[in-house]
A and B are shown apart, each in its own frame.
Chain A
């Protein structure tokens, strides 16, 4: 048995017999003899507006001004060609493939077991901060170009070993065609990242993207904790993330309202600037889109924090924000018996006296300053 034959840009290709991934709306197939692309075919015959949307997308070069080379992968799985039946019917589209193991969906960073399996030796808090920065950067850029991600979730973004992110499922992006002024809305959403106004049926907007971005950045910086996790004390028995979002009930803002799972990380692991943004997004920003920090706000704050990460002197891959006086990952490992970033729990640290660690940090800062000075002097000498 062989797979289905279709036309891509008029040229016949054969698809894999079994889909790579299959859902209610569409199935994604690999192409026989071409590992670089995949083809998404819609389950239901796509309507004329879907075909028009794709045709318009093929004329656009989003984020086009950015040079990409091997170290800088492309950032959107943008459609590259329409897929048609031999009879010419529109079926779906082709796009570049961003598959495992090089590209992992963001959700793969959210549990210890998967982090350690999928990103061996790679992930620490500094890496997660970098992924957050890339995510905020991409979102800000897309908003700048008038694109709304719309279905923004931990499943629709992949990350590579260097922390670069790529947005998948671009056919659901909301945009206005610059040529015809036709508006193409986003019709997809994912409950756990869906702002309340979209739950109620409102359109996808930059502000609804900002909500999803805030949730994802918070999850990244707390190794996977959803800010709307936990069960409210006054809830009925079927409480979900979606319910907590609708009720504006986040333990980051109002911990007293919620039974918080015991494994949840103290929100104070975030540096104060980022924690303030999170509190705005998960407090007043839930019901008021204007009160939400924008992707640019996040980008600016993340940029500031990237230069202020410190390394734990005791255990490998323990890095954390410089506002903390002790390593939160050592503290957690001691409490749970599991190290969030290491397969085997390295030996426990000797009892640390805060003053000493201060002294150590200060001496490290001095060493770092000296190195920077030497580099500067070297550069001047040249």
Chain B
């Protein structure tokens, strides 16, 4: 990970090479085009918030980065993997390099917090793991990560006994256990109350700057994005409408992302 720190985008240095590069991405489910000509770059250490109303293509863009979406045109490169032309077995290698955080945490409810974190190392766990064993080195690392996210005192508890905010911290520790080169967080705070949402997003941003890992986080609450991200990228109807540093984002352009939202809501209710 020292190399990642070395290529950090520090002032006065040449910009580091992006770890996520999306060019002219088009994703379609049959006739239905979800993403149309999307470009995106994420450099080491930066936190980018992905914005857009439901149906804008946010989730599909996230999924296309880990090979879960049918790409019909364009290129997607993530941590050195060419996602659209993966070799045999390349999908698992790609996914093990990408730490993912989900809206519903997706922990294994009955297993302990520690075991849940350890599952992040499954891709490097050998045959010993057949009987449920993880090496001492893995366990030490998992405990250190739990210290980092502030949940070490709950290590023995079953995951289901934790609050939502704590579960999301465990999920982040699991993602870090992968020693990821990129972190993707799809609506990580949508199920949390606002106070916890802020602390989880601060944690993600801290990880990005300290470890030099780019963090792409999709959010639907604009103020959270402006407060906790370095850059905001706004999607509408499958196209990038906004891509600007959080401090300089044009309020009118951001409002345009959600134009027509209210009427939609009225129809649904």
- Are A and B co-members of a single complex? no
